[in-house]
Amino acid sequence: MTVPAHTARIAVSDLPSALAAVRERGLRLSCARRIVLEALYEADGPLTAEEIARSGRCDLASVYRNVEALETAGLVRHLHVGHGPGLYLPAAAAVELIVCERCGARADVDPRVTADVRAAVQAATGFTPHFDHFPLAGLCPRCAYDRQEG
């Protein structure tokens, strides 16, 4: 995760196009790169490096090395969730999340809502908030309830 968050991203929407894009960029399509891309395109949401390694029976160091190479190539991006490890996903995935600080539960945020938030914060501060690298953090309904009761 030493790759800048705003590397130009390649918009490929499926695994075959992602594999083709690796070759088109003159990168070697190693076994580990194929495993990383397969895991990310088949997942329902962002994955940790450990999850990628487990899914492909690939060693963790190799996963880290290859997500970084694929991120530099613009095919993968990462986001940060609370105190936990980084999460990886296809670069073009338009995922905007809110993550529970307590239990790690995640929910998608409707792009219309994030667009409104962006506009309100920009009008107030001049800064443009992004939610794709550092998602919104907070409490899920259950943890908010537990906290109120506790």
**Which positions lie near a second copy, rule CB under 8 A?**
1, 5-6, 82-83, 98, 100-102, 107-110, 113, 116-117, 120-121, 124-130, 133-134, 136-141, 144, 147
| Nearer of residues 37 and 140 to a second copy, judged by Cβ | 140
Burial category of 17 from C-beta neighbours within 10 Å (exposed 0-12, middle 13-18, buried 19 and up): middle
Other CB atoms within 10 Å distance of the CB of residue 71: 21
Q: How far is the CB of 91 from a second copy (least distance, A)?
A: 16
Nearer to a second copy, 59 or 116 (CB): 116
Asked if 99 and 87 count as a contact pair (C-beta separation under 8 A), the reply is no
Q: How far is the CB of 102 from a second copy (least distance, A)?
A: 8
CA 128: distance to chain centroid? Answer: 19
**Residue 101 CB partners (closer than 8 Å, separation 6+):** 82, 137, 138, 139, 143
Q: Collect all residues with Cβ–Cβ distance below 8 Å to 123 and sequence separation of at least 6.
A: none
CB of 85 vs a second copy, minimal distance in Å: 13
CB 8 → a second copy: shortest distance, Å? Answer: 11
Cβ proximity to a second copy, 61 vs 144, nearer residue: 144
